[in-house]
Structure formats: structure tokens, C-alpha cells
Structure 1
């Protein structure tokens, strides 16, 4: 119970503050958009930049860690896609959006703060390693699948498809922050202390601002659509993905304790807002994606407590 009170609830209270502010305290949509634009467009990219620039790359990128998480994530995509096609009889593009919801856990806005509160700042190495390729890999995968589905019969060349995917990925601020962090890390380029001081000031506001803004964004989502589909995708995100990751991490790759914690907690997070953004980008399965983000985020208060209890 102490894990629920000390680790999980403060994170969700900040989200709740944003929700209450948007619903009852006159915090307008434009204000929510402004907070999220600051968080996702500036503060979080700087957080990823600083984390990766300072990361010991040789120690962070453990093959077992990455495979445990990403095999679980791709299994979530497969389960969501199969459920859409075989159970809910959805068209191909909707099924890809369902799969993306099962694929894309909220590694940044929920995984980082919960791991930090549970185990301390020093426990974030594995989280940062996962996050450093999370958005680029998953967006590349999802966009490629969707563009292939949409271009059937249109004769779109492989080069044109590659350009379209690359453009969509490289225009994201989070990806830009990640790439700049790698550039500084690999080049050994020293940044002036005054620059690091300014960066550290901004990134201290990144997670609180993002969590508050996330609460405002969640207020816009309504629990609409097929409740069976929403429940299925929530179970894939909150149970199936972390269960596969935990099994691989303990039984196959024998991860050490910090790596296992990072992998499982990141896998156990609810679908991120990017799952809805992806569905909205293509205009498919938007209500189910939005409703799953809302419902799974609420349910994750309980499921995250469960995973914290079984982790060493």
C-alpha cells in the first residue's frame, strides 16, 4: 500500500490537477495546448537530450533489456491487430490503429516519474535507453504499416514511402532532442556549464508540466466507442505487454534488478497520448484510441501497484 501512496498517487494527482483545472477551473483548451506545447515541444526534448548526452551508452544498451521490452511491445501490436480483425471485424487501417494502441506505452510521461519515485533518479538508465528509440522505432513501424495499407493499389514506390516515413519521424521534437543527445554523447563535444545550468532549469519543469497538461488533454476524451474493444486494448497494454516483458526478463535474459524494473514498469504503462495522435493523424479508430488512453490511464493506478509489488 505504501507504494500506491508514495509512488503512484502523487503522479496521478498531478494529472488529476490538470483534469480538474480543465473541467471546473476555467483552464481553457488553448492553455492546455500551450502547456503541452511547452512540455512536448521544448522541455521533454531537452530532458531526453540531457539524459542521452550524459548516458553511458555501453552500459545502458543491454540487449536483454531492449529485447524484453520490445518483443512485449510488438506482441501487443500483434494482439491488438488480431483482435481488431478477428474479433471486432475492423478494416485493415483501423486494425493497425488498434495495434498501435497496444504497442505504444506511455514510457515518458508515466514510466519515468513512477520509476524515479519508486527507485530514485539513478534507476532511470534503462528507462532512458528504452525511450531513446521508443518513438522513432514505433512511429517508423506504425507509419510504414499504415502507409502500406493505404497505398495498396496506388503504386507508391518504396523510395516515396521511405521519404514519407522519414519526414514524419524527423519532424518530431522528441526525436530531434534524442538525435542531438546522441550527437553530443558520441562526439564528446563539451557544452559550457552555463548551458547545462539553463537546460537543467528547463528540464526540472518537464515532467510536472507534462503530467498537468496530460490531465487537461484527458478531459477532452470521452469514454465512447466499443467498450469491449477498449477493455481488450487496455488489457493488452496493462497486462499482456508487461507480463511478456517480465517473463522474458526473468526467465530468458535474466536481467539484473535495475534493468528488470525499468523494462517492466515502462511496459506496464497505459497507452500514451501518441496512440491517439497516430489514430487521429490517419482519421481511423479515433474514438477507441482516445477512450483507451483515458480508461487505461485510470486503471493503471491499480495495475502499476501490482507490478511494483512483484518486482524485486
Structure 2
């Protein structure tokens, strides 16, 4: 019970506070959208910039951790995609959007604060290493799969699909923050020293990121109502909350990962799909109701999955 009350509950209290404010109309939808735009387009990219810039690349380079996490993620995608397409008889575009819900963990807005509260600020280095690949890799994959699905029956132009996927990824603020952080990391290793005032400003912005994002996430989740598409929603919840962390944990045991990277990989894998899963579905107008309801239902259910994995891990 200590894990629930000391680690998990504070994060979800902030989310619940945001939902309550939106429900009682103390915080308007326009205000929620503005807060989320600030968090996702400015504060969170600065947070990623700061963490990647200061990340010990060599010390946190662990191929086994990445393989364990992303093998679970892609296995979840193909399970969700294939069942949606062949069992639930959804359209190819819907199947890709449903698969993306199974694929994309809320590694940042939930993963970082949960990990920090559970194991300390120094424990998030592995999470940052995962996040450095998370959005670029998974968005590129998702956009590519959707473009292939939309081009069915037509002559495929691999170059056009690849260019559209790359363009979509490089215009994402989170990716820009990660890339700028990586460039700063290399420059600092080469001897560049930034003034203390610069890092003070970066840290002030970064500290605002998670509280703002969690509160805004609560407001966004209030809009979503779980309705219809029960089988597809259940499929996404099972794949993201059960299959992904189970595969990651199993591979982590096979690779004999040390405790810190194992924790980072499994805890991140146990997170619910983030709002980005809904945004992806919305961009392509595919399975939006499934994605919206999955984000809400799985975020609530993730309290139990996170609790279990924190209890199990060393």
C-alpha cells in the first residue's frame, strides 16, 4: 500500500485535480488546450533538452534495455493491428490507429514522474535514454504504416512515404527538444561551458513541465467518454498494460539486465497510451473514439499495472 499512496497516488491526484477543474468548469476547455500547448510544445521539450544535454550517453547506453522495451512495444502493435484488422474487421486505417494505441506508452507525462517518485531523480536516466528514441522511432513507424495503409491499391512511392514520415517527425516539438539536447551534449563534451544563468532558466522551465502537463492531462481526459467499441478498447488496454510490460520484463530477465535499466524499461512499458495516441488517430481521422476512450480507461487501469510492476521489480 505504501507504493500506491507514496508513489502512484500523488501523480494521479494532480491528474484528478485537472479533471475536477474541467468538470466544474473552473478551467475551461480553451484554458486546458492552452496549458497542454504550453506543456507539450515548450515546457516538456525544454525538460527533454535539459535531461538529454546532461545525460551520460556512454553510461546509459544499454542495447538490452532498448531491445527489451521496443520488442514489447512492436509486439503489442502487431497483436493489436492484426486482431483489429482480421478479427474485429476494422478498416486498414483504423487497424493502424488501434495498433498505435497498443504501441505508444505515456513514457514522459506518466513515466518520468512515477519513476522519479519510486526510485529517485537519478533513476530516470534510463527513462530518458528510452524517450530519446521513443517518439522519433514510434512516430516514424506509425506514420509509415498509416501511409502504406492509405496507399493500398495504388502504386507505392517509398520515397514519398519516407519523406512524409520524416517531415512529420522532425516538426514535432518533443523531437526538436531531444535533438537540441543531443547537440548540446556533444558540444559540452567538446568543451563548451554554458553560463549558470542559461541553465537556471532551463531548469525553471523544466520544473514547470510535469505539473502543468499532468494537470492539463486531467482536463483532456475529462473530455473523453468510454462509449462503444468495447472490444477494441479492451484489446488496446490488454496490449499496452499487460503484454508490453510482460514481454519487456521477460526479455530483461533473459538479457540479465541490471536493476536500474530493467526498472526503467518495465515501468515505462507499463504506462497507459498517452494523449499522443489520440492525436495520431485524430490526424488521420481513424478510430478516434477507440483512441480517446482507450486513453481514459487505460490511464485509470494503469494505477494497478504500475503498482504491480513496482512491487515486483527489485
TM-score, normalised to structure 1, is 0.98
Structure-2 separation of matches of 1:225 and 1:57: 45
Q: Do structure 1's residue 43 and structure 2's residue 47 form an aligned pair? A: no
Q: CA deviation at 1:158?
A: 2.1
The correspondence for 1:234, drawn from 228, 234, 237, is 237
**Runs of 5+ unmatched residues, structure 2:** none
For residues 49 and 156 of structure 1, the distance between their equivalents in structure 2, rounded to whole angstroms, comes to: 36
Alpha-carbon distance, 1:155 to partner: 3.2
**Counterpart secondary structure, 2:271:** coil
Q: Does 1:256 align with 2:273?
A: no
1:218-229, aligned counterparts within 5 Å? 218-229=221-232
1:34 aligns with 2:37: no
Distance (Å, rounded) in 2 between the aligned partners of 1:148 and 1:191: 44
**Displacement after TM superposition at 1:187 (Å):** 2.3
Matched, 1:190 2:193: yes
- Equivalent position of 2:129 in the other structure: 129
CA distance 1:194–1:223, shift in 2 (3 Å)? same
1:244 to 239, 242, 247: 247
What is aligned with 1:14?
14
Distance between the aligned counterparts of 1:211 and 1:129, measured in 2? 21
Ranges in structure 1 where 5+ consecutive residues have no aligned partner? none
Q: Deviations over 1:289-310 (max 9, x none)?
A: 1100000000111111111111
Give the match for residue 284 of structure 1: 286
- RMSD of Structure 2 on Structure 1 (CA): 1.0
1:309 matched residue in structure 2 = 311
Runs ≥4 residues deviating over 6 A: none
| 2:147 corresponds to | 147
1:156, CA displacement in angstroms?
A: 4.7
Deviation at 1:93, TM superposition (A): 1.1
Shift of 1:192: 1.7
For 2:309 and 2:116, how far apart are their aligned partners in 1? 15
Using the alignment, how far apart are the partners of 1:61 and 1:296 within structure 2?
Answer: 30
**1:190 Cα deviation from its structure 2 partner:** 2.6
2:211 paired residue number: 208
Aligned length: 311
Match of 1:272 in 2: 274
Kindly provide the CA deviation profile for residues 99-142 of structure 1, in whole angstroms up to 9, marking residues without a partner as x.
10000000000010000000000001110000011001000000
- Secondary structure of 2:14 counterpart: helix
